[in-house]
Amino acid sequence: MSEVQKPVYGGQAVVEGVMFGGKHHTVTAVRRKDSTIVYYHLPRESKPVVNRLKKIPFLRGIVSLIQSSATGSKHLNFSTEQYEEEDGEKQAETKEETKDPSKLSLWLGVAVIGVLSFLFGKLLFTLIPVFLAKLTEPLFSGHTAQVLVESLFKLILLLVYIYVVSLTPLIKRVFQYHGAEHKVINCFESGKELTVANVQASSRLHYRCGSSFILFTVIVGMFVYLLVPIDPLWVRVVNRILLIPVVLGIAFEVLQLTNKVRDTPILRYLGYPGLWLQLLTTKAPTDDQVEVALASFKELLRMEKETEKGLESDVIV
């Protein structure tokens, strides 16, 4: 097994590629149309304020969400550019993060749009079930019944949406790369050699997946909504909107908890709902897709190892 023990690496599927993040770097490997693999990496910047916020329970989930969205948008932008380029149009070479202020502004704009898109989607998935549940009030009256019906509509809406988008060729390929990313992490954490065969034999489900986080927002929201009033309707709408950060923060802590107890008998089942959802959000990858995921992960391991050696050499004994 690699020298890196118990990694906290997270991954993300992008267009024809996979991004992995470590302690010091994030790396994306993308397969271009000419079958070559190119890389993009960003160093993780250490910001004291952000680091302090990420140590505060419930608040750290919101901070991590914003930070991952900002980083992910840069990698997604790179992967899309690489895949859309015609063969020979540009030199396929490793790109580093530029210090050009205009590009930094562009990336910041993309990050903001990504966060706003997520919040808008969350808003729709939060409010549509509210109005649907209200229509069933003659049949399911009462606070508890309405919250349960609302949560059921939210779950159905989520599952139907994921299933429908997964039928499109592009999203299906993204979900395949998502599966490849999970398989690589599971293979690495099991201590097996990182080969295509070993990775393909590993599970495509993982406790730290963002898909699990989405499902936990539905479950956590149900319990939180039981504690607040639902009448009149405008109060219900307002508290649902105001409670979005609260639900996200708690759901993040639940996700962290399920990952910590995944090897504990009985408690490991707490994470199963999230794993079940991953049956929809991940697909079995091809060997070519696994090769891209492996290339990204191995490049990350290499860079992390070099960084750690550099930090050790700076220590004065």
Using the predicted structure, report yes or no on whether residue 206 has a pLDDT greater than 50: yes
Tokens linked to 126: 């939060």
Nearest to 204, CA basis, from 231, 185, 220, 222: 185
Using the predicted structure, report yes or no on whether residue 248 has a pLDDT greater than 50: yes
What's the rounded mean pLDDT across residues 124-137? Answer: 88
- Residue 108: the pLDDT is 42
Q: In whole angstroms, what is the distance from residue 198 CA to residue 193 CA?
A: 7
Beta bridge partners of 40: 28, 95
Length of the chain: 317
- Residue 103: the pLDDT is 40
Q: In whole angstroms, what is the distance from residue 17 CA to residue 56 CA?
A: 33
Per cent of the chain over pLDDT 70 is 72
- Residue 10: the pLDDT is 58
What's the rounded mean pLDDT across residues 120-131? Answer: 79
Cβ 7 vs Cβ 16: under 8 Å: no
Q: Is the dihedral of CA 312, 46, 8, 98 positive or negative?
A: negative
Bridge pairing between strands 95-96 and 37-43: parallel
Q: In whole angstroms, what is the distance from residue 70 CA to residue 39 CA?
A: 18
Structure confidence at residue 284 as a pLDDT band (50, 70, 90): very high
Q: In whole angstroms, what is the distance from residue 280 CA to residue 159 CA?
A: 8
Using the predicted structure, report yes or no on whether residue 195 has a pLDDT greater than 90: yes
| Alpha carbon separation from 308 to 23, 172, 224, 260, 276 (Å, rounded) | 10, 37, 42, 25, 37
Structure confidence at residue 315 as a pLDDT band (50, 70, 90): very low
The overall average pLDDT reported for the chain is: 77
- Residue 82: the pLDDT is 62
Pinpoint the alpha helices (H) of the chain.
Answer: 48-53, 59-84, 101-135, 143-166, 169-189, 196-200, 210-225, 233-242, 244-260, 272-281, 287-313
Using the predicted structure, report yes or no on whether residue 265 has a pLDDT greater than 90: no
What's the rounded mean pLDDT across residues 15-20? Answer: 73
- Residue 84: the pLDDT is 54
Using the predicted structure, report yes or no on whether residue 86 has a pLDDT greater than 60: no
Q: In whole angstroms, what is the distance from residue 182 CA to residue 293 CA?
A: 9
- Residue 149: the pLDDT is 95
pLDDT digits (tens, 9 = 90+) for 304-314: 888 777 655 55
Tell me, yes or no, if the pTM score tops 0.85.
no
Q: In whole angstroms, what is the distance from residue 169 CA to residue 306 CA?
A: 38
Q: In whole angstroms, what is the distance from residue 261 CA to residue 292 CA?
A: 30
Using the predicted structure, report yes or no on whether residue 182 has a pLDDT greater than 50: yes
pLDDT digits (tens, 9 = 90+) for 28-61: 888 877 777 888 887 777 777 766 776 777 777 6
Structure confidence at residue 113 as a pLDDT band (50, 70, 90): very low
Q: In whole angstroms, what is the distance from residue 208 CA to residue 219 CA?
A: 17
Give all strands of the β-sheet with 95-96 in edge-to-edge order: 10-14, 17-21, 25-31, 37-43, 95-96
What's the rounded mean pLDDT across residues 202-206? Answer: 91
What's the rounded mean pLDDT across residues 187-197? Answer: 91
pLDDT digits (tens, 9 = 90+) for 219-231: 999 999 999 999 8
Nearest to 187, CA basis, from 205, 199, 178, 200: 199
